[in-house]
Homo-oligomer: A and B are copies of this chain.
Protein backbone atom coordinates (compact mmCIF):
# COMPACT_ATOMS: atom_id res chain seq x y z
CA UNK A 1 0.00 0.00 0.00
CA UNK A 2 1.31 3.42 -0.98
CA UNK A 3 0.21 6.37 1.19
CA UNK A 4 0.82 9.82 -0.25
CA UNK A 5 0.92 12.47 2.49
CA UNK A 6 -0.17 16.05 2.15
CA UNK A 7 2.42 18.80 1.80
CA UNK A 8 3.84 20.27 5.00
CA UNK A 9 3.16 17.26 7.19
CA UNK A 10 5.44 17.40 10.23
CA UNK A 11 7.86 14.52 10.94
CA UNK A 12 6.01 13.97 14.21
CA UNK A 13 2.63 13.56 12.49
CA UNK A 14 4.19 11.15 10.07
CA UNK A 15 5.79 9.12 12.85
CA UNK A 16 2.44 8.94 14.64
CA UNK A 17 0.68 7.60 11.56
CA UNK A 18 3.43 5.04 10.98
CA UNK A 19 3.16 3.87 14.58
CA UNK A 20 -0.63 3.57 14.31
CA UNK A 21 -0.37 1.50 11.15
CA UNK A 22 2.42 -0.75 12.42
CA UNK A 23 0.42 -1.41 15.59
CA UNK A 24 -1.97 -3.49 13.46
CA UNK A 25 0.88 -5.99 13.31
CA UNK A 26 2.86 -7.74 10.62
CA UNK A 27 3.35 -4.56 8.60
CA UNK A 28 6.46 -2.48 8.05
CA UNK A 29 6.27 1.11 6.86
CA UNK A 30 9.03 2.65 4.73
CA UNK A 31 8.97 6.40 4.83
CA UNK A 32 10.12 8.24 1.75
CA UNK A 33 10.84 11.95 2.05
CA UNK A 34 10.32 13.63 -1.30
CA UNK A 35 10.64 17.22 -2.42
CA UNK A 36 6.96 17.82 -3.00
CA UNK A 37 5.28 15.13 -1.00
CA UNK A 38 6.24 12.37 1.37
CA UNK A 39 5.22 8.83 0.71
CA UNK A 40 4.81 5.86 3.03
CA UNK A 41 5.19 2.43 1.47
CA UNK A 42 3.76 -0.48 3.44
CA UNK A 43 5.26 -3.94 3.25
CA UNK A 44 3.74 -7.06 4.79
CA UNK A 45 0.18 -8.23 5.30
CA UNK A 46 -2.02 -5.26 4.45
CA UNK A 47 -5.22 -7.26 4.15
CA UNK A 48 -6.41 -6.01 7.53
CA UNK A 49 -6.01 -2.36 6.53
CA UNK A 50 -8.85 -0.46 4.95
CA UNK A 51 -7.86 2.21 2.41
CA UNK A 52 -10.76 4.44 3.38
CA UNK A 53 -9.83 4.40 7.03
CA UNK A 54 -6.30 5.49 6.27
CA UNK A 55 -7.47 8.06 3.74
CA UNK A 56 -9.71 9.55 6.45
CA UNK A 57 -6.61 10.74 8.26
CA UNK A 58 -6.14 14.49 7.97
CA UNK A 59 -2.52 14.29 6.88
CA UNK A 60 -3.16 11.81 4.05
CA UNK A 61 -3.55 13.01 0.46
CA UNK A 62 -4.38 9.63 -1.06
CA UNK A 63 -3.91 5.89 -0.66
CA UNK A 64 -3.25 3.26 -3.29
CA UNK A 65 -3.47 -0.46 -2.61
CA UNK A 66 -0.82 -2.36 -4.53
CA UNK A 67 -1.52 -5.85 -3.18
CA UNK A 68 -4.91 -7.50 -3.57
CA UNK A 69 -6.95 -7.62 -0.34
CA UNK A 70 -7.63 -11.37 -0.73
CA UNK A 71 -5.16 -14.14 0.03
CA UNK A 72 -6.71 -17.60 -0.10
CA UNK A 73 -8.52 -16.89 -3.38
CA UNK A 74 -5.42 -15.23 -4.86
CA UNK A 75 -3.61 -16.98 -7.69
CA UNK A 76 -0.35 -15.34 -6.62
CA UNK A 77 -0.28 -17.50 -3.52
CA UNK A 78 -1.82 -20.57 -5.18
CA UNK A 79 -0.70 -20.68 -8.83
CA UNK A 80 -2.36 -24.00 -9.73
CA UNK A 81 -6.00 -24.14 -10.82
CA UNK A 82 -8.29 -25.44 -8.11
CA UNK A 83 -10.20 -28.50 -9.29
CA UNK A 84 -13.31 -29.31 -7.29
CA UNK A 85 -14.57 -32.86 -6.95
CA UNK A 86 -18.31 -33.34 -6.68
CA UNK A 87 -19.02 -36.93 -5.61
CA UNK A 88 -21.48 -38.66 -7.91
CA UNK A 89 -23.01 -42.09 -8.40
CA UNK A 90 -20.27 -43.09 -10.82
CA UNK A 91 -17.06 -41.65 -9.36
CA UNK A 92 -16.98 -37.88 -9.16
CA UNK A 93 -17.65 -34.91 -11.40
CA UNK A 94 -14.78 -32.43 -11.54
CA UNK A 95 -15.20 -28.69 -11.89
CA UNK A 96 -12.16 -26.74 -13.02
CA UNK A 97 -8.93 -27.86 -14.64
CA UNK A 98 -9.48 -29.48 -18.02
CA UNK A 99 -13.21 -30.06 -17.63
CA UNK A 100 -16.05 -28.04 -19.11
CA UNK A 101 -19.15 -29.03 -17.16
CA UNK A 102 -22.75 -28.19 -17.80
CA UNK A 103 -25.23 -27.85 -14.96
CA UNK A 104 -28.78 -27.90 -16.28
CA UNK A 105 -32.32 -28.05 -15.02
CA UNK A 106 -35.48 -26.09 -14.46
CA UNK A 107 -35.77 -22.71 -12.81
CA UNK A 108 -38.02 -24.18 -10.11
CA UNK A 109 -38.70 -27.73 -9.06
CA UNK A 110 -42.43 -28.18 -9.63
CA UNK A 111 -43.26 -31.89 -9.45
CA UNK A 112 -41.59 -35.27 -9.33
CA UNK A 113 -42.50 -35.94 -12.92
CA UNK A 114 -41.15 -32.60 -14.10
CA UNK A 115 -37.78 -32.75 -12.37
CA UNK A 116 -37.14 -36.42 -13.14
CA UNK A 117 -38.07 -36.03 -16.76
CA UNK A 118 -35.79 -33.00 -17.21
CA UNK A 119 -32.99 -34.70 -15.28
CA UNK A 120 -33.07 -37.70 -17.60
CA UNK A 121 -33.22 -35.52 -20.63
CA UNK A 122 -30.33 -33.19 -19.74
CA UNK A 123 -28.22 -36.13 -18.60
CA UNK A 124 -28.70 -37.75 -21.98
CA UNK A 125 -27.66 -34.52 -23.69
CA UNK A 126 -24.45 -34.27 -21.67
CA UNK A 127 -25.18 -32.33 -18.47
CA UNK A 128 -23.20 -33.68 -15.55
CA UNK A 129 -25.10 -31.93 -12.75
CA UNK A 130 -28.76 -31.15 -12.18
CA UNK A 131 -29.98 -27.74 -11.06
CA UNK A 132 -33.43 -26.82 -9.77
CA UNK A 133 -34.73 -24.18 -7.40
CA UNK A 134 -36.43 -25.23 -4.18
CA UNK A 135 -36.00 -21.89 -2.42
CA UNK A 136 -36.61 -19.12 -4.95
CA UNK A 137 -35.55 -15.53 -4.31
CA UNK A 138 -38.37 -13.49 -5.82
CA UNK A 139 -38.60 -9.72 -5.96
CA UNK A 140 -42.28 -9.95 -5.09
CA UNK A 141 -43.60 -11.49 -1.87
CA UNK A 142 -46.66 -12.52 -3.87
CA UNK A 143 -44.72 -14.61 -6.39
CA UNK A 144 -44.23 -18.37 -6.12
CA UNK A 145 -41.35 -18.91 -3.68
CA UNK A 146 -40.55 -22.54 -4.44
CA UNK A 147 -41.53 -25.89 -2.92
CA UNK A 148 -38.91 -25.58 -0.15
CA UNK A 149 -38.11 -28.91 1.63
CA UNK A 150 -40.47 -30.73 -0.73
CA UNK A 151 -38.46 -29.30 -3.66
CA UNK A 152 -35.23 -30.65 -2.21
CA UNK A 153 -36.89 -34.03 -1.63
CA UNK A 154 -37.88 -34.15 -5.31
CA UNK A 155 -34.37 -33.15 -6.43
CA UNK A 156 -32.98 -36.03 -4.38
CA UNK A 157 -35.40 -38.39 -6.10
CA UNK A 158 -34.19 -37.18 -9.49
CA UNK A 159 -30.61 -37.61 -8.31
CA UNK A 160 -31.36 -41.16 -7.24
CA UNK A 161 -33.00 -41.87 -10.57
CA UNK A 162 -30.23 -40.40 -12.75
CA UNK A 163 -27.09 -40.36 -10.65
CA UNK A 164 -26.64 -36.65 -11.35
CA UNK A 165 -25.34 -34.63 -8.39
CA UNK A 166 -27.65 -31.72 -7.54
CA UNK A 167 -27.10 -27.98 -7.27
CA UNK A 168 -29.66 -25.84 -5.48
CA UNK A 169 -29.82 -22.40 -3.89
CA UNK A 170 -29.77 -21.67 -0.18
CA UNK A 171 -31.36 -18.46 1.12
CA UNK A 172 -30.73 -18.74 4.85
CA UNK A 173 -28.23 -20.57 7.04
CA UNK A 174 -31.22 -21.74 9.05
CA UNK A 175 -32.11 -24.06 6.15
CA UNK A 176 -28.72 -25.81 6.15
CA UNK A 177 -30.03 -29.06 7.69
CA UNK A 178 -32.26 -29.49 4.61
CA UNK A 179 -29.14 -29.31 2.41
CA UNK A 180 -27.48 -32.36 4.00
CA UNK A 181 -27.68 -34.42 0.79
CA UNK A 182 -27.36 -31.55 -1.67
CA UNK A 183 -24.07 -31.84 -3.59
CA UNK A 184 -23.38 -28.20 -4.50
CA UNK A 185 -24.92 -25.32 -2.56
CA UNK A 186 -25.64 -22.21 -4.61
CA UNK A 187 -25.45 -18.67 -3.22
CA UNK A 188 -27.54 -16.37 -5.38
CA UNK A 189 -26.52 -12.96 -6.66
CA UNK A 190 -28.63 -11.16 -4.05
CA UNK A 191 -26.86 -13.00 -1.23
CA UNK A 192 -23.31 -12.56 -2.49
CA UNK A 193 -22.65 -10.16 0.36
CA UNK A 194 -24.80 -11.90 2.96
CA UNK A 195 -21.68 -12.28 5.05
CA UNK A 196 -23.33 -14.24 7.86
CA UNK A 197 -24.48 -16.85 5.35
CA UNK A 198 -21.02 -16.97 3.76
CA UNK A 199 -19.41 -17.62 7.13
CA UNK A 200 -21.78 -20.51 7.82
CA UNK A 201 -21.03 -22.00 4.41
CA UNK A 202 -17.35 -21.82 5.31
CA UNK A 203 -18.05 -24.37 8.01
CA UNK A 204 -19.49 -26.82 5.47
CA UNK A 205 -17.18 -28.87 3.25
CA UNK A 206 -19.50 -29.04 0.23
CA UNK A 207 -18.70 -27.08 -2.93
CA UNK A 208 -20.29 -23.62 -2.92
CA UNK A 209 -21.40 -22.08 -6.21
CA UNK A 210 -21.09 -18.33 -5.55
CA UNK A 211 -22.86 -16.01 -7.99
CA UNK A 212 -21.63 -12.47 -8.62
CA UNK A 213 -23.99 -9.80 -7.32
CA UNK A 214 -25.74 -7.58 -9.82
CA UNK A 215 -23.61 -4.58 -8.96
CA UNK A 216 -20.54 -6.15 -7.49
CA UNK A 217 -17.01 -5.78 -8.73
CA UNK A 218 -14.79 -8.76 -9.41
CA UNK A 219 -12.72 -7.87 -6.35
CA UNK A 220 -15.83 -7.97 -4.19
CA UNK A 221 -16.77 -11.37 -5.62
CA UNK A 222 -13.32 -12.66 -4.69
CA UNK A 223 -13.64 -11.13 -1.21
CA UNK A 224 -16.90 -13.03 -0.75
CA UNK A 225 -15.13 -16.21 -1.84
CA UNK A 226 -12.44 -15.32 0.69
CA UNK A 227 -15.12 -15.21 3.43
CA UNK A 228 -16.05 -18.83 2.71
CA UNK A 229 -12.44 -19.94 2.35
CA UNK A 230 -11.21 -18.10 5.45
CA UNK A 231 -13.95 -19.87 7.41
CA UNK A 232 -12.56 -23.24 6.33
CA UNK A 233 -14.17 -24.27 3.04
CA UNK A 234 -11.80 -24.07 0.03
CA UNK A 235 -14.38 -25.44 -2.44
CA UNK A 236 -15.71 -22.30 -4.07
CA UNK A 237 -16.97 -22.11 -7.67
CA UNK A 238 -17.37 -18.56 -8.98
CA UNK A 239 -20.25 -17.74 -11.32
CA UNK A 240 -20.71 -14.74 -13.63
CA UNK A 241 -24.42 -14.07 -14.26
CA UNK A 242 -24.68 -10.54 -15.61
CA UNK A 243 -24.44 -7.09 -14.11
CA UNK A 244 -26.72 -4.06 -14.09
CA UNK A 245 -26.03 -1.40 -16.65
CA UNK A 246 -28.08 1.27 -18.42
CA UNK A 247 -28.81 -1.11 -21.35
CA UNK A 248 -32.43 -2.21 -21.45
CA UNK A 249 -32.50 -4.57 -24.43
CA UNK A 250 -31.12 -7.38 -22.27
CA UNK A 251 -32.18 -7.94 -18.66
CA UNK A 252 -28.56 -7.64 -17.50
CA UNK A 253 -25.23 -7.34 -19.28
CA UNK A 254 -23.26 -10.60 -19.16
CA UNK A 255 -19.69 -9.56 -18.39
CA UNK A 256 -17.73 -12.05 -20.47
CA UNK A 257 -14.47 -10.26 -19.68
CA UNK A 258 -15.02 -11.27 -16.06
CA UNK A 259 -14.01 -14.84 -16.83
CA UNK A 260 -10.42 -14.23 -18.01
CA UNK A 261 -10.05 -11.46 -15.41
CA UNK A 262 -11.11 -13.82 -12.59
CA UNK A 263 -8.90 -16.61 -13.93
CA UNK A 264 -5.92 -14.27 -13.86
CA UNK A 265 -6.61 -13.08 -10.34
CA UNK A 266 -7.72 -16.37 -8.81
CA UNK A 267 -7.23 -20.13 -9.02
CA UNK A 268 -10.91 -20.88 -8.42
CA UNK A 269 -13.10 -22.37 -11.18
CA UNK A 270 -15.43 -19.94 -12.96
CA UNK A 271 -18.69 -20.89 -14.62
CA UNK A 272 -21.22 -18.78 -16.53
CA UNK A 273 -24.99 -18.47 -16.30
CA UNK A 274 -26.16 -17.34 -19.75
CA UNK A 275 -29.85 -17.87 -18.96
CA UNK A 276 -30.36 -15.21 -16.30
CA UNK A 277 -27.97 -12.62 -17.70
CA UNK A 278 -29.90 -11.78 -20.85
CA UNK A 279 -33.31 -13.10 -19.89
CA UNK A 280 -33.94 -14.14 -23.49
CA UNK A 281 -33.99 -17.79 -24.56
CA UNK A 282 -32.45 -17.11 -27.97
CA UNK A 283 -29.41 -15.53 -26.32
CA UNK A 284 -28.47 -18.64 -24.32
CA UNK A 285 -26.62 -20.36 -27.13
CA UNK A 286 -24.47 -17.44 -28.36
CA UNK A 287 -23.50 -16.46 -24.82
CA UNK A 288 -22.72 -20.08 -23.97
CA UNK A 289 -20.37 -20.15 -26.96
CA UNK A 290 -18.70 -16.95 -25.76
CA UNK A 291 -18.24 -18.50 -22.32
CA UNK A 292 -16.62 -21.59 -23.83
CA UNK A 293 -14.42 -19.36 -26.01
CA UNK A 294 -12.95 -17.53 -23.00
CA UNK A 295 -12.14 -20.81 -21.19
CA UNK A 296 -14.88 -20.78 -18.60
CA UNK A 297 -15.06 -24.02 -16.62
CA UNK A 298 -18.68 -24.63 -17.46
CA UNK A 299 -22.21 -23.37 -17.69
CA UNK A 300 -25.37 -23.36 -15.62
CA UNK A 301 -28.43 -23.38 -17.86
CA UNK A 302 -32.17 -23.31 -17.35
CA UNK A 303 -34.10 -26.00 -19.20
CA UNK A 304 -37.88 -26.36 -19.00
CA UNK A 305 -40.13 -29.06 -20.38
CA UNK A 306 -43.44 -27.37 -20.22
CA UNK A 307 -43.84 -25.03 -23.13
CA UNK A 308 -47.55 -25.52 -23.37
CA UNK A 309 -48.18 -24.10 -19.87
CA UNK A 310 -47.98 -20.35 -20.31
CA UNK A 311 -47.22 -19.04 -16.86
CA UNK A 312 -44.61 -21.21 -15.26
CA UNK A 313 -41.39 -20.85 -17.16
CA UNK A 314 -39.15 -17.87 -17.49
CA UNK A 315 -38.28 -16.00 -20.63
CA UNK A 316 -34.77 -17.37 -20.41
CA UNK A 317 -35.45 -21.12 -20.31
CA UNK A 318 -34.76 -23.30 -23.30
CA UNK A 319 -36.41 -26.58 -24.25
CA UNK A 320 -34.71 -29.96 -23.84
CA UNK A 321 -34.36 -30.12 -27.63
CA UNK A 322 -32.64 -26.71 -27.74
CA UNK A 323 -30.42 -27.82 -24.86
CA UNK A 324 -29.41 -30.97 -26.70
CA UNK A 325 -28.47 -28.92 -29.75
CA UNK A 326 -26.64 -26.40 -27.58
CA UNK A 327 -24.37 -29.02 -26.01
CA UNK A 328 -23.43 -30.26 -29.45
CA UNK A 329 -22.75 -26.71 -30.63
CA UNK A 330 -20.71 -25.73 -27.59
CA UNK A 331 -18.49 -28.83 -27.44
CA UNK A 332 -16.05 -27.89 -30.26
CA UNK A 333 -15.65 -24.36 -28.80
CA UNK A 334 -14.66 -25.85 -25.44
CA UNK A 335 -12.39 -28.36 -27.14
CA UNK A 336 -10.57 -25.64 -29.10
CA UNK A 337 -9.48 -24.40 -25.68
CA UNK A 338 -8.35 -27.86 -24.62
CA UNK A 339 -11.38 -28.42 -22.43
CA UNK A 340 -13.36 -31.65 -22.30
CA UNK A 341 -17.13 -31.49 -22.31
Hey, which bits of chain A sit against chain B, CB under 8 A?
Answer: 2, 4, 16-17, 20-21, 24, 28, 30, 32, 34-37, 39, 41, 43, 47-50, 52-58, 61-62, 64, 66, 69-70, 137-143, 145, 171-174, 190-191, 193-197, 199, 213-215, 217-220, 223, 226-227, 230-231, 243-251, 253-257, 259-261, 264, 277-279, 281-283, 286-287, 289-290, 292-295, 307, 309-317, 332-333, 336
Shortest beta-carbon distance, A89 to chain B, in Å?
Answer: 32
Question: Roughly how many angstroms separate A255 CA and B282 CA in the complex, as a whole number?
Answer: 16
Please determine whether B56 and A315 come into contact, CB atoms closer than 8 angstroms. yes
Please determine whether B250 and A314 come into contact, CB atoms closer than 8 angstroms. no
Question: Roughly how many angstroms separate A324 CA and B165 CA in the complex, as a whole number?
Answer: 43
- Can you list 5 pairs linking A and B with CB atoms under 8 Å apart? A53-B313, A61-B66, A138-B195, A245-B255, A253-B257
Shortest beta-carbon distance, A319 to chain B, in Å?
Answer: 11
B-side contacts of A66, CB under 8 Å = 4, 37, 61-62
Shortest beta-carbon distance, A211 to chain B, in Å?
Answer: 13
Shortest beta-carbon distance, A264 to chain B, in Å?
Answer: 7
B-side contacts of A246, CB under 8 Å = 215, 217, 243-246
Tell me which of B140, B195, B286, B292 contacts A223 (CB under 8 A). Answer: B140
Tell me which of B20, B37, B256 contacts A287 (CB under 8 A). Answer: B256
B-side contacts of A36, CB under 8 Å = 41, 43
Knowing A39-B2, A332-B336, A333-B333, say if A218 contacts B247 (CB, 8 Å): yes
Shortest beta-carbon distance, A252 to chain B, in Å?
Answer: 9
Question: Roughly how many angstroms separate A317 CA and B35 CA in the complex, as a whole number?
Answer: 31
Tell me which of B53, B259, B264, B278 contacts A311 (CB under 8 A). Answer: B53
Question: Roughly how many angstroms separate A65 CA and B95 CA in the complex, as a whole number?
Answer: 41
Question: Roughly how many angstroms separate A140 CA and B50 CA in the complex, as a whole number?
Answer: 9
Question: Roughly how many angstroms separate A279 CA and B52 CA in the complex, as a whole number?
Answer: 8
13 new A-B contacts at CB < 8 Å, known A21-B310, A34-B41, A218-B247: A37-B66, A55-B315, A57-B310, A64-B64, A140-B223, A141-B231, A145-B195, A171-B194, A172-B173, A174-B174, A244-B246, A290-B293, A293-B333
